[in-house]
Structure 1
């Protein structure tokens, strides 16, 4: 007899924890993994939640264990494995069953899957899930894309398992087809920028001010009580305090300086370019991860060129105060850019993304959760159609307050050879955005000279060409 109210396919770290979260919230869940041994291992470790879990050895048993209409969460590696899993499920499912892809899918794949399933009688949801292992187990941020009636059918389960911020569920329907996975992609792009800027500030303290890991940890810990209060600042303070059991040194000092990436950061940059919306802080963060992987080349370059000489530095506490404000300024840029990209996609794909809601469901559970998001939610509530967060009263005030500090940090870092690509990109973004007349007039003249592309004039309508070569 079918007892489960929902199913989860894929019992890796995220899938297993999501299934336990579902059971913990009182819902009977069926689980299946392609490797039967993993299913057995999961069932054996479910403990007091075992009575809420039905572990299945075959897909046929899995489908039979769920009460129709069946919601099935797929939590497998993005790409072809998702398509293969859908193909295997289709013959076993019935009309009105819901397939929910909860992995880090490319939203364009999600849109294609919606099209592929049209006429099959099956319903599809593309669901972004953020929060890592801890979030999946105890409450992630959940971003849903698909038909609204499909969301309403699974809303009780998804809101129950989501993170809560002051009692409000961090789960929401954001729009049709690929909306949920697109928002998750931009979330991850902002996450890349946030992490990179934190690392840049850490680098200035370590390599310019000569501070050790525990001392830097204390700075981040102090910042966590102010406007930078966030999950990433908290964990930065925590990891910098941890000592390696084998060497007794701070563990951060013995970790290889090559950052991994799984694709979502690159996707966010690609989509920002496709939309024609600058996301320079995110681009810089993605490029920095790629450069970090070039360890052998970097070592050769240092041997060839050495490092720039260190100039006289200001008193340490003055620099640290500026670093805090510079990091806040960079954060404003990254979020302003990310939300601008989402606004462009919302218009292009007719999603009508609810920006204030997105900010609200990111306030708990997800990796970029922070005090900052409350202010973003308020800004979009007050002005849902604002062109850029930088133009809202609260954020324009932040930019004015942090501008001088960001300039000093970027300038001093450049003079001392300290790489701060994301912070420098944030500064360049603000300076370009705030300048009513830029320098693209020269670019237009060049384009017309070599390609007869034409240009607009300030004093006349229509397209014009220059008298080049006459």
Structure 2
């Protein structure tokens, strides 16, 4: 007899916590892990919730324990492992059953899998889940892509386990096939930029002003009471105020300065470029993590070029740094929403960008006090599709522009790297230039490749009189 409403494969940290979340919200869940001992240990550790957990030692037992239409969540490492689980499940399933990939999947894989399963009359949902271990257990932000009729079958479960913002679930269906996973990918790209910008402020205060980590942490804690209120600013303040139990030193002082990445930030940049967008702040954050991995190279560079730092300008005040961080953060979100808009048109997803902002308000890593106003601004209509042009944010950008410029100028004069801030400033300055320098680029392209250009007095595909151009030596 069917006992479970939904199944889950993969009892790693995220899968185990998501299973407990489902059970705690009143839904019987069947669980399977490739190593049966892991399944046994999980059930034994679930306490009272074990009454709603159905352990399965084989895929056949997992499927047999599910109510129809069957729904199985996959929580395994992205890539080939997901395909292997799908291949094991599909022969056991019937038309109308569904598989839900809740990992950090490449949305191209999600589109491929959805199309393949559709041919077998099975449904596939790509489900982006953000919030880490804590979010999976107590309420993540959830981004759904797939057949809306299939989502309707599990919607009550998803909305129950999702984070809540003023009682509303931070879960939404964004469109067919890979839409949900793409929204999650862009979320992670924005996360990269946000983390990098916070780290750049930390670097300026540590290496420029000579402040100790605890002092910087206290400043972040103060900023978290204002417009910068967000999960990442909050935890940064807490991290910087934490001592190492072994040495008593600030914990950050004993951590090797090499940042890891799992690929979603890089995917954001790759897909943005494919769509003709340039998420410069996100790209800078991805690059900074790559550069950080070259520890030995950086140490040699420090020894070779240490005497080349020039006399720095006056370091920005705490208030200026706060304004600069706020402005740069808004610009990063602006670039993220432009990527989502471009993808929506390319793949005919009809993404609701305001819903994305609303889903990110709680549970996820980039949750922020700004997201309410961002959702409202998007619903009101963004001038030229630019968040930074919206009345709600243009004022903040205007207030922060001078501080952002001072911050980048100071960093350059002091020889301190701020790639995300610098790219945010370059983007802002480009978007406020009514006439840029692409006229020369178009002339160059026409000169060497006869690509043509449009004239300001009208007409396209015109060519220049290059045969008579004067060469200067």
1:180 matches 2:180? yes
Deviation at 1:157, TM superposition (A): 0.0
- Contiguous gaps of at least 5 residues in structure 1: none
Q: TM-score of the superposition, structure 2-length normalised?
A: 0.97
Match of 2:386 among 381, 385, 388: 388
Q: In structure 2, what is the Cα distance between the partners aligned to 1:386 and 1:156? A: 37
Q: Which string of whole-angstrom CA distances, capped at 9 and with x for unpartnered residues, describes residues 352-371 of structure 1?
A: 11111111110000000010
Deviation at 1:465, TM superposition (A): 1.4
1:290-439 paired onto structure 2 within 5 Å: 290-306=290-306, 308-309=308-309, 311=311, 314=314, 319-383=317-381, 387-439=385-437
Which residue pairs with 1:252 in the alignment? Answer: 252
Name the SS for the 1:127 alignment partner. Answer: strand
Which residue pairs with 2:239 in the alignment? Answer: 239
Which residue pairs with 1:130 in the alignment? Answer: 130
Q: In structure 2, what is the Cα distance between the partners aligned to 1:308 and 1:72? A: 59
Deviation at 1:467, TM superposition (A): 1.6
Q: Which string of whole-angstrom CA distances, capped at 9 and with x for unpartnered residues, describes residues 433-470 of structure 1?
A: 11111001111111111112111111231211112233
Which residue pairs with 1:143 in the alignment? Answer: 143
Name the SS for the 2:460 alignment partner. Answer: strand
Structure 2 CA distance for partners of 1:214 and 1:39, relative to 1, 3 Å: same
Q: In structure 2, what is the Cα distance between the partners aligned to 1:76 and 1:440? A: 46
1:136-215 paired onto structure 2 within 5 Å: 136-215=136-215
Contact in 2 for aligned 1:308/1:416 (Cα 8 Å): no
Q: In structure 1, what is the Cα distance between the partners aligned to 2:258 and 2:280? A: 21
Contact in 1 for aligned 2:312/2:413 (Cα 8 Å): no
1:86-125 paired onto structure 2 within 5 Å: 86-125=86-125
Which residue pairs with 2:471 in the alignment? Answer: none
Q: Which string of whole-angstrom CA distances, capped at 9 and with x for unpartnered residues, describes residues 394-426 of structure 1?
A: 111111010100000000100000100000000
For structure 1, which segment, 396-405 or 385-394, has the greater mean C-alpha deviation from structure 2 after superposition?
385-394
Q: In structure 2, what is the Cα distance between the partners aligned to 1:312 and 1:24? A: 56
Q: Which string of whole-angstrom CA distances, capped at 9 and with x for unpartnered residues, describes residues 215-257 of structure 1?
A: 0010000000000000000000111111111111011111010
Contact in 2 for aligned 1:164/1:364 (Cα 8 Å): yes
Which residue pairs with 2:48 in the alignment? Answer: 48
Q: In structure 2, what is the Cα distance between the partners aligned to 1:211 and 1:310? A: 20
Which residue pairs with 2:220 in the alignment? Answer: 220
Q: In structure 1, what is the Cα distance between the partners aligned to 2:438 and 2:72? A: 51
Which residue pairs with 1:459 in the alignment? Answer: 457
Name the SS for the 2:253 alignment partner. Answer: helix
For structure 1, which segment, 318-327 or 250-259, has the greater mean C-alpha deviation from structure 2 after superposition?
318-327
Deviation at 1:118, TM superposition (A): 2.0
Which residue pairs with 2:285 in the alignment? Answer: 285
Moved >6 Å (runs of 4+): none
Q: Which string of whole-angstrom CA distances, capped at 9 and with x for unpartnered residues, describes residues 297-340 of structure 1?
A: 111111111154463654x7x52111111100110110000000
Structure 2 CA distance for partners of 1:83 and 1:385, relative to 1, 3 Å: farther
Structure 2 CA distance for partners of 1:115 and 1:425, relative to 1, 3 Å: same
Deviation at 1:143, TM superposition (A): 0.2
Which residue pairs with 1:444 in the alignment? Answer: 442
Structure 2 CA distance for partners of 1:272 and 1:239, relative to 1, 3 Å: same
Q: In structure 1, what is the Cα distance between the partners aligned to 2:384 and 2:32? A: 45
Contact in 2 for aligned 1:208/1:310 (Cα 8 Å): no
Deviation at 1:385, TM superposition (A): 7.9
CA RMSD of aligned residues (A): 1.2
Q: How many corresponding residue pairs?
A: 468
Structure 2 CA distance for partners of 1:307 and 1:395, relative to 1, 3 Å: farther
Structure 2 CA distance for partners of 1:114 and 1:167, relative to 1, 3 Å: same
Q: In structure 2, what is the Cα distance between the partners aligned to 1:403 and 1:370? A: 21
Name the SS for the 2:108 alignment partner. Answer: helix
Q: In structure 1, what is the Cα distance between the partners aligned to 2:114 and 2:60? A: 23
Which residue pairs with 1:11 in the alignment? Answer: 11
Q: In structure 2, what is the Cα distance between the partners aligned to 1:41 and 1:394? A: 51
Contact in 2 for aligned 1:357/1:377 (Cα 8 Å): yes
